[in-house]
Amino acid sequence: MGPETLEGEEMAVEAEVMHAAMAEAVRSLTAVNVPAMDLERCQDALEAGAGPNDPLIINTIKKVFLEADADLVQMTMERVRSGLPDRANVVASAAAAFSGSCALLALYDPVQHVLRVANTGDSRAVLGRWDGEKYIAYAMSVDQTGFNEEEVARITQQHPGEDVVDPKTGRVHGLAVTRAFGDARWKWPQEVSKRAYEMFWGPSPRPDSMIKTPPYLTAEPEVTEVVVQTGDHPDFLVMASDGLWDNMSSDDAVTCVQMWLDKNKPAAFMEKHNAGTLGPIGPARRTPNLLPPSLPGNLAPVYSTAAEVAGEDEDVYFDEEEKCLRWRVSPKHFVVEDVHCGIHLIKNALGGKRRDLFTGVMSVQPPLSRRVRDDITVQVIFFGVDNNLALAGRSG
C-alpha cells in the first residue's frame, strides 16, 4: 500500500461513518434522497418478489450508495466553501470526507432466492457453488482498480487527454481504487481542497497538475445478481476486504471453506457460543493477554538470510520489489482448526499450518504491519441453513 492509503484512526473513522450510513440507508431506504415514488415502487417490487435483473431494484441500490457519498462529500464541501463560523463542525465533517472507504453490500431475497451484491472499491465477494464433485468459485464482484480494463476505459472517456491511471501501479493519481466513498481530494475542485487545508487543517491538496477535471472517483457500485441454489450442497458467499485477497485467490478461498465444511457445520458456531464453550467473543475478546507467551515444544529453525528461508519453503520468499518477506498461499498449507469460518480463512491466508510464519506475520505491529498485512475483514454466509434454533437458544 502506498502513502495515500488510510492508516489507523483515519481508516477507523471512515469505516464507522460508512457502516452507520449504509446500515441506515439499506434498512429504511429513507436516509437518502431517493424520490418517494421510486421508493414506493421499489418496496412494491420487493414485496412482490422481484426476480433478477430488475432495473428498479438495481438503480435504487446505486442511488443509495451515491446519496450516502453525497451526504459525506458534497455537504462537507458546501460547509468548507461557506466559511461557517462553527469551525469545529467543519473540521469534524471534513475528517470523514477526506478519509476513504470501500463498500461491499449483499442483499438476499429469501422468497425469490435472489442474491444481489453491490461493490464499490476493491473488496470482493465470491460465491461457492457445488458442481457435483466440489465447490467452484463464481465472482460476485470485480475489483475496481486501475488494473481493471473496463474501469480504465471509463475513466479515460470521462477525462480525455489526462494521464489519470498509472498503468504500472494501477493507481488513480496515487490512489489504489477507482471507486470509493469519501476521498474528497479526488472529488473536490482544487480551490476547495486548498481552502480546507488553509482554514480547517485538512491534508495537503493533490498537485494542481494532477487535479484538473474532478471528480476522478465515484461511489456508484456495480451490482451482480444470482439465484441461490440450496439442497444437499447449498451455495455459500465469501465477502472480504482486499487484505484477504492480497494473499489468497478466489479459487483457494472457496477450497478453504470447503475444507472447513468437511469438518464443521455452519450452525455449530452459534450452538457452541450459546453453550458457553467458545469463551468470550466480540469486544470482550480484545482484552490483552498480559502473560508472557509460551514457547512451542519444537522451536522453528533460525534463518540468517532470505535465501535460507526459500530453501526451507519455496513458498516463502523475499520480494525484491516490495523489499520484505512474502509468502504464497496454497491449499497444501491449509489447516482446519477453528470453528469460526471467517477466522479459518484469515489464518490460512496468513500462513496456515506454517505456524512460525503465521505467528510472525501476526506479531508485526503498526505502522510496520502495513508492509506485511493489510486490514482484513471476512464474512462467510451459508445459504440453506436454518439458524432459528441457534438464535432461539441465544435469546433464551
* pLDDT tens by residue, 48-69: 555 677 888 999 999 999 999 9
- How confident is the model over 122-158, as pLDDT tens digits? 999 999 999 999 999 999 999 999 999 999 999 999 9
The Cα–Cα gap between 215 and 222 comes to 18
pLDDT at 346: 97
384/164: higher pLDDT:
164
The Cα–Cα gap between 223 and 61 comes to 8
- Cis ω before 215 (30° cut-off from 0): yes
From 26-35, 175-184, 334-343, the region with the lowest mean pLDDT? 26-35
Instruction: Domain ranges for the chain, please list them.
Output: 8-225, 241-283+307-385
In this predicted structure, the answer to whether residue 364 has a pLDDT above a threshold of 50 is: yes
Q: Is 73 exposed, middle or buried (0-12, 13-18, 19+ CB in 10 A)?
A: buried
Rounded to the nearest 10 degrees, how much is the dihedral formed by the CA atoms of 85, 87, 89, 94?
A: 120
169/83: higher pLDDT:
169
Q: What is the mean pLDDT of residues 74-99?
A: 90
Task: List the beta bridge partners of residue 138.
Answer: 127
Q: What is the DSSP letter of 132?
A: S
pLDDT at 147: 97
pLDDT at 8: 40
The mean pLDDT value of the chain amounts to 83
161 dihedral zone (left: phi>0; alpha: psi -120 to 50; beta): left
What backbone torsions phi and psi does residue 263 show, to the nearest 5 degrees? -120, -10
Is the four-CA dihedral 191, 195, 198, 200 of positive or negative sign?
negative
In this predicted structure, the answer to whether residue 103 has a pLDDT above a threshold of 70 is: yes
pLDDT at 313: 77
Q: What's domain 8-225's architecture?
A: 4-Layer Sandwich (3.60)
